């Protein structure tokens, strides 16, 4: 089984997407297919022994839309108007209709001459839509173009050549306008694609050569001059500059970059020259993945999108049947076939429009493209819809509510140790850790010129700490639970611990494990409040499962428990403080004003630190001393108490809680891989003020979709009855229908602003 993506020109509405799918689904060897309007693509799973790619492309070409295996180039723009066949056909159609009117109404020439011009107008203007309309009829997926064909033929049968020509003109105009509307939305994605340059200066073999971005490999050195855009993600190896990352992260201020810093494709080098070692091909860059997710967002459909698709599947055939009944049944009963045939024809042409099918995806993708321009990645319409319904938000503390760049404020040694030895040993253990607090300890050790020794047998325990051998001795670095379980006493340090915790600082304990301890069998479990409102965090101890991983027994025997274990000695306490993000208080206040009733901070820190940091952020509810799995339980409790819950986190430790929540919002850290993969919504610039923006955008988008659906249904609800009663003619009816469709499309495009 092979999966491939086929790109389709001129696929601009849901009816056309359904036509393409139906033309492929029935082929022998096809296992599945899915059309995407935004990327104008069709993903197909097929058996190559039963069908070839050539056969697939041929089947799509028969619909009147051209298929290709090659995607349009980055930054391509729509063809100018004089190179667009449909637009030229529309202009020619209008010219011949106008000429026919002049001949018939002004010059008073015989009808034959006028009909000649009307006939040419019908052929020229109706060629492209008729080709797809007839294909749709063959595949039993009638759409608006099928209606045009049937309507025009019916008008010609009745001798209404002028009306038939106008019908073709109006439908063709609607086609062009709908294609324009869809392309405006697609243009937002194309703008993202266009911000990365197509080529760059590369240093190879001592020479500087200009290469296409596609030909630049990982490890190549790219030279970026002031004012140029950075072509690919990479690491600065030489130079200093200010870089405008607004196209990627939405940040308003440039960011200083020097050797060792990461830069992103599409950002703008403002001042100095930079040499950058390429780390990823374009499709794997932060920008490339943003483009991919925005294009694929249409496939993760909201309830409104599913409604629009379902409505179109059943509504169009029903209207066909109704029109046929109106044409035949009354004529049999009352006679006057021409009158009832005309009335049924009017019902047919006024009943269907791409408006309701197109306006919903236009609104969704316009909103998602808007968010992408503001440094927010929304992975699908379903997440856009959920965001507006959020009633409670849980925030991880470190890296989400706080800046995520903690600093060491105090180093307190015990038992004959010195500040220098505590920092040196702790940084040696933490040198193999990826935790943000580890970086703070290592940074302080380097600032003081201390040596960082090699560590062996390193083991990390999320939410608890880490253990390693340094110079043959076992050291543990982590929270207070590490002291309680191996029997390390902290009695002499309680006053200092209390003072530091009241100052809102996170405490890291350094212990050495060296003495056997008999019969360590008592185990107390951490108590986690599950249901809101949360009580103050409770002091707890390491669960037995974590204790056994961290402190394995030397020997096992008896009926259970530890026959022998470790005891240890406290060597020092390192106090670390991370500041609340400056925008946090304002963002939380705005969320409360928007009706988000539950704002909760989740943290692995102790009660005192949690309370102080929550007060600084303006959050009244918090839960302390949580392991990653305990955050999942806390999210479950929030969902029971509030309904729709979002979880804001920044990495691997928060992933389980983000998955458990209804909406995972990841702090992007300027597009880290973990955040982009984990979150349903990613804040590329780590700006909490974007959360109220997303919720507001979601509500705007949902209101916009509701308006579009209501407008479309009102127009249909008006036109069909008046057509049945004969109070409206063919041309006025289709004009009202197309104007209504245009209104909802324009309304959807407002979300691009």
Q: What is the C-alpha separation between 271 and 566, in angstroms, rounded?
A: 57
Q: Taking the CA atoms of the chain, what radius of gyration do you get in angstroms?
A: 33
Residue 602 φ then ψ, to 5°: -115, 130
Q: What is the C-alpha separation between 492 and 569, in angstroms, rounded?
A: 12
Centre a 10 Å sphere on the Cβ of residue 262 and count the other Cβ atoms it contains.
16
Q: What is the C-alpha separation between 78 and 280, in angstroms, rounded?
A: 29
With the C-alpha atoms ordered 194, 246, 678, 370, is the resulting torsion angle positive or negative? negative
In which residue are the tokens 């249901």 written? 531
Helices and strands, counts by H and E, the chain? 24, 26
Are 35 and 11 spatial neighbours (Cβ–Cβ below 8 Å)? yes
- Take residue 298 and report the two structure tokens written for it: 């249409």
Helix (H), strand (E), coil (C) string for 270-299: CCCCEEEEECCCHHHCHHHHHHHHHHHHHH
Three-state DSSP state, 327: helix
Are 445 and 610 spatial neighbours (Cβ–Cβ below 8 Å)? no
Residue 551 φ then ψ, to 5°: -125, 70
In the residue annotation, 439 being an active-site residue is answered as no
Q: What is the DSSP letter of 751?
A: G
Helix (H), strand (E), coil (C) string for 472-495: CEEEEEECCHHHHCCCCCCHHHHH
- Take residue 745 and report the two structure tokens written for it: 């499309």
Three-state DSSP state, 230: coil
Centre a 10 Å sphere on the Cβ of residue 715 and count the other Cβ atoms it contains.
21
Please give the C-alpha separations between residue 29 and each of 45, 54, 58, 607, 752, in angstroms, as whole numbers.
9, 13, 15, 62, 40
In which residue are the tokens 């009963």 written? 333
Residue 280 φ then ψ, to 5°: -150, 145
Q: What is the C-alpha separation between 509 and 574, in angstroms, rounded?
A: 6
Selected catalytic residue, list 175, 244, 396, 680: 396
108 Ramachandran zone, left/alpha/beta (phi>0; psi -120 to 50): left
Q: What is the C-alpha separation between 431 and 343, in angstroms, rounded?
A: 81
Are 367 and 701 spatial neighbours (Cβ–Cβ below 8 Å)? yes
Q: What is the C-alpha separation between 165 and 96, in angstroms, rounded?
A: 9
String of b and e for 503-528 (b: at least 16 CB within 10 Å)?
ebbbbbbbbbbeeeeeebeeeeebeb
Are 273 and 298 spatial neighbours (Cβ–Cβ below 8 Å)? no
Alpha carbon 115 to its chain centroid, in Å, reads 53
Any residues with CB less than 8 A from the CB of 209 and at least 6 apart, and which? 201, 202
Q: What is the C-alpha separation between 490 and 477, in angstroms, rounded?
A: 15
Is there a cis peptide before residue 397, judged by omega within 30 degrees of 0? no
Q: What is the C-alpha separation between 242 and 609, in angstroms, rounded?
A: 36
Pairing of strands 645-649, 392-396: parallel
E-strand stretches of 578-683? 598-602, 621-623, 645-649, 663-667, 681-683
Q: What is the C-alpha separation between 128 and 152, in angstroms, rounded?
A: 14
Are 542 and 464 spatial neighbours (Cβ–Cβ below 8 Å)? yes
Are 219 and 202 spatial neighbours (Cβ–Cβ below 8 Å)? no
Q: Which residues are catalytic?
A: 396
């Amino acid at each position: 089984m092979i999966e491939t993506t086929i790109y389709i020109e001129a696929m601009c509405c849901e009816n056309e997407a359904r036509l393409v799918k139906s033309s492929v689904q029935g082929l022998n060897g096809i296992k599945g297919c899915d059309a995407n309007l935004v990327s104008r693509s069709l993903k197909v799973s097929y058996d190559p022994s039963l069908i070839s790619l050539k056969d697939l492309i041929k089947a799509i070409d028969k619909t009147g839309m051209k298929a290709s295996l090659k995607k349009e180039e980055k930054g391509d723009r729509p063809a100018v108007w004089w190179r667009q066949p449909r637009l030229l056909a529309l202009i020619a159609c209008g010219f011949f209709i106008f000429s026919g009117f002049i001949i018939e109404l002004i010059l008073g020439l015989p009808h034959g001459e006028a009909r000649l011009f009307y006939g040419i107008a019908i052929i020229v203007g109706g060629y492209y839509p008729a080709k797809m309309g007839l294909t749709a009829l063959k595949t039993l997926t009638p759409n608006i173009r099928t209606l045009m064909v049937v309507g025009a033929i019916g008008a010609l049968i009745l001798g209404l050549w002028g009306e038939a020509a106008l019908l073709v003109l109006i439908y063709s105009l609607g086609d062009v306008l709908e294609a324009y509307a869809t392309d405006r939305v697609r243009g937002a994605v194309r703008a993202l694609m266009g911000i990365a340059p197509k080529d760059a200066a590369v240093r190879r073999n001592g020479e500087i050569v200009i290469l296409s971005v596609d030909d630049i490999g990982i490890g190549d050195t790219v030279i970026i001059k002031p004012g140029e855009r950075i072509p690919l993600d990479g690491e600065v190896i030489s130079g200093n500059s200010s870089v405008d990352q607004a196209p990627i992260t939405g940040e308003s201020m440039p960011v200083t970059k020097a050797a060792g810093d990461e830069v992103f494709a599409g950002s703008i080098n403002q001042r100095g020259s930079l040499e950058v070692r390429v780390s990823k091909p374009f499709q794997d860059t932060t920008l490339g993945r943003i483009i991919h997710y925005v294009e694929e967002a249409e496939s993760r459909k909201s309830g409104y999108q599913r409604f629009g698709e379902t409505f179109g599947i059943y509504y169009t055939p029903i209207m066909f049947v109704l029109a046929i009944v109106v044409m035949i049944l009354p004529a049999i009963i009352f006679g006057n076939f021409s009158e009832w045939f005309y009335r049924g024809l009017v019902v047919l042409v006024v009943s269907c429009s791409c408006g309701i099918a197109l306006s919903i995806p236009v609104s969704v993708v316009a909103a998602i493209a808007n968010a992408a321009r503001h440094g927010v990645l929304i992975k699908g319409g379903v997440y856009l819809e959920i965001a507006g319904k959020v009633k409670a938000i849980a925030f991880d503390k470190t890296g989400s509510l706080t800046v995520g760049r903690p600093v060491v404020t105090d180093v307190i040694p015990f038992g004959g140790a010195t500040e220098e030895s505590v920092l040196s040993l702790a940084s040696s253990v933490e040198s193999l850790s990826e935790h943000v607090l580890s970086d703070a300890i290592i940074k302080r050790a380097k600032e003081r010129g201390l040596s960082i020794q090699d560590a062996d047998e390193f083991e990390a325990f999320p939410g608890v700490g880490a253990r390693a051998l340094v110079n043959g001795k076992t050291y543990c670095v982590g929270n207070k639970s590490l002291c309680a379980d191996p029997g390390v006493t902290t009695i002499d340090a309680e006053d200092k611990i209390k003072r530091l915790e009241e100052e809102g600082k996170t405490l890291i304990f350094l212990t050495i494990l060296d003495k056997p301890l008999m019969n360590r069998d008592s185990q107390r479990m951490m108590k986690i409040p599950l249901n809101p409102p949360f009580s103050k965090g409770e002091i707890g101890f390491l669960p037995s499962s974590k204790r056994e991983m961290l402190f394995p027994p030397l020997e096992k025997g008896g009926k259970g428990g530890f026959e022998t274990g470790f005891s240890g000695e406290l060597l020092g306490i390192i106090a670390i403080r991370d500041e609340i993000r400056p925008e946090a208080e304002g963002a939380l206040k705005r969320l409360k004003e928007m009706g988000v009733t539950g704002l909760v901070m989740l943290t692995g820190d102790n009660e005192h630190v949690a309370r102080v940091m929550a007060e600084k952020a303006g959050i009244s509810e918090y839960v302390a001393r949580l392991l990653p799995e305990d955050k999942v339980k806390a999210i479950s409790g929030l969902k029971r108490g509030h309904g729709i819950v979002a979880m804001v986190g920044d990495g691997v430790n928060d992933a389980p809680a983000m998955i458990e929540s209804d909406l995972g919002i990841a702090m992007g850290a300027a597009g880290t891989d973990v955040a982009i993969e984990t979150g349903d919504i990613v804040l590329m610039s780590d700006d909490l003020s974007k959360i109220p923006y997303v919720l507001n955008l979601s509500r705007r988008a949902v209101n916009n979709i509701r308006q579009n659906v209501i407008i479309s249904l009102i127009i249909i609800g008006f036109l069909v009855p008046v057509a049945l009663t004969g109070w409206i003619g063919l041309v006025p009816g289709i004009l009202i229908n197309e104007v209504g469709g245009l209104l909802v499309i324009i309304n959807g495009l407002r979300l691009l602003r």
